[in-house]
Amino acid sequence: MHEKKVVVITGGAKGIGKAIATTYCRKGYHVVVLGRDEKALKTTSSELARLGCSIHAMKTDVGDATECSDAVAAIIADHGTIDVLVLNAGVSMRGTVEATSIEVAEKIMRTNFFGSLNMIKPALPALRESKGSIVFISSIMALRGLPFTSYYGASKAALKILSESMRCELAHTGIHIGIVHVGMTRNEPQKRVFAPDGSSIALDERKKAATRESVADKVVACSEKRIAEMTLTPIGKLAGFLYRHFPRLSRYVTGRFSTVTRFYR
Ligand SMILES: NC(=O)c1ccc[n+]([C@@H]2O[C@H](COP(=O)([O-])OP(=O)(O)OC[C@H]3O[C@@H](n4cnc5c(N)ncnc54)[C@H](OP(=O)(O)O)[C@@H]3O)[C@@H](O)[C@H]2O)c1
C-alpha cells in the first residue's frame, strides 16, 4: 500500500504518455503505466526508477475489457487505491473515408473509445472512494472534423461527449472528470499511424509543434487543479475560438488549408 498518490496512465511507456508519467513521477506520485509493448514498458520503468521514481509497469491491451479489469484489480490489490486515471492510449490514421477500411475505424474506436471505457468501468469504485480524477487525452480534432483523420476525430469527439455525460452523472461523488484537447505535438520517431489499408505509416517530423513535456505539464495541472476542459497550443486555442464564433469561415479555412498543405500529416 502507498502513502503516495497513485496515478494510472494508459499508453504511459511511450510518447506523450511517457512524458505524463515522468511529470507525475517527479511530483512524487506512484505511477502505474500500461501498454502492450513489453520492451517499452521495461525501458520506461527502468529509466524512471533511475530518476528515483516510484513506478510499476503492466502489460495491458486497453482494447481488451478483461485485461483492463484484471489490471485494475491488480493495481488495487498492490497499491490500495487509484487517485488519478489518465486515458492516454490512442491510435490515429491518415486517409479519406472513401479509401480507409471499416476495419481501421473499428481498431481506432476499440483503442481510443472502448479502451477508455474498458478502464473507467472497473476503476470507478476506487475513484469514488478516493474522490479521484479521470483525465481524457483528446485532440483538437475532437472539436471539428478535419480531412484524413475522420475516424480518429470521431473517436476523440466520442470521448468528449462521454466525459461531459460522466461529469454530470458523477457530480455528486467528488470525482473530477477532465478532458485535454491536445494540439499538434512532437512525435517520437517510431510513432506510426494507420494507412487506409490498415498498414502502418510514419508521420512527418514536426519541429515547430509543442513538446511532449509541455503537454504533460498541462495534463498534470488538469488533474491537480480539477479543470474540466482544456485546449492546448496557440493554434489549438485559435481553432477552438474560430470553430465556436466563426463556424462558416473556419470550415472553409480548415478544409482548404489542410487539403492543400497536408498540414495534418
Ligand atoms: N502527438 C500528437 O500530436 C497528438 C495530438 C493530439 C492528441 N494526441 C493524443 O495523445 C495520446 C498519445 O499520443 P502519442 O502522440 O504519444 O502517440 P504514440 O507515441 O503513438 O503513443 C501511443 C501510446 O498508446 C499506447 N497504445 C496504443 N494502443 C494501445 C492498446 N491497445 N493498449 C494499450 N496501449 C495502447 C501505446 O503503447 P503500446 O504500443 O505499448 O501499446 C503508446 O504508449 C493519444 O491519445 C493521441 O491521440 C496526440
Residue 262 is assigned to a structural domain of this protein:
no
Cα distance between residue 180 and residue 136, in whole Å: 6
Domain span including residue 16 = 6-236
- For residue 1 the three cell numbers come to 500500500
Q: Domain for residue 247, yes or no?
A: no
Q: Which residues are catalytic?
A: 152
Q: Under 8 Å CB-to-CB from 229, ≥6 apart: which residues? A: 163, 178, 179, 180, 181
Average confidence (pLDDT) over 179-184: 96
> What's the pLDDT at 177?
98
Domain for residue 65, yes or no?
Answer: yes
Q: What is the pLDDT at residue 89? A: 98
CA 33 to chain centroid, in Å, comes to 13
In this structure, the residue with its CA closest to atom 46 of ligand 1 is 90
Angle, in degrees to the nearest 10, between helices 115-130 and 65-79: 30
| Interval 130-145: pLDDT, tens | 999 999 999 999 999 9
**Mean per-residue pLDDT of the chain:** 94
Residue 29 lies in a domain: yes
Distance 249 CA to ligand 1 centre (A): 31
Residue 255 falls inside a structural domain: no
Q: What's the 200 CA to ligand 1 centre distance in angstroms?
A: 14
Report d(CA 159, CA 117) in Å as an integer.
Answer: 9
Mean pLDDT of 152-158: 98
Minimal CA–CA distance to 143: which of 21, 245, 239? 239
Residue 264 lies in a domain: no
Q: Whole-angstrom Cα distance, residue 205 to residue 207?
A: 6
Q: Find all residues with CB under 8 Å of 250, minimum gap 6, and list them.
A: 144, 239, 242, 243
Assess whether pLDDT exceeds 70 at residue 99.
yes
209 located within any domain: yes
- C-beta separation of 162 from 119 below 8 A: no
- If one counts the domains in the chain, the total is 1
Average pLDDT over residues 81-110: 97
Ligand 1 is surrounded, with C-beta below 6 A, by 10-11, 13-17, 34-37, 40, 61-63, 88-92, 111, 115, 137, 139, 182, 184-185, 187-188, 191
Question: Quick one: which of 73, 77, 114, 107 has its CA closest to 93?
Answer: 107
Interior angle at CA 180, CA 13 and CA 115, nearest 5: 55
In a domain, 254, yes or no: no
Which pLDDT score is estimated for 207? 79
Amino acid occupying residue 184: M
Could you tell me what percent of the chain has a pLDDT over 90? Answer: 88
- Write the DSSP string, 170-189: TGGGT-EEEEEEE--BPPPT
Q: By the 8 A CB rule, do 180 and 138 touch?
A: yes
Q: What's the CA-to-centroid distance between 71 and ligand 1, angstroms?
A: 18
> What 3-state DSSP class applies to 143?
coil
Rounded-to-integer distance, Cα 151 and Cα 132, Å: 30
Predicted local distance difference test score (pLDDT) of residue 34: 98
Given a cut of 90, whether residue 254 has pLDDT beyond it is no
Q: What is the CATH number of the domain that holds 123?
A: 3.40.50.720
Atom of ligand 1 at shortest distance to CA of 182?
6
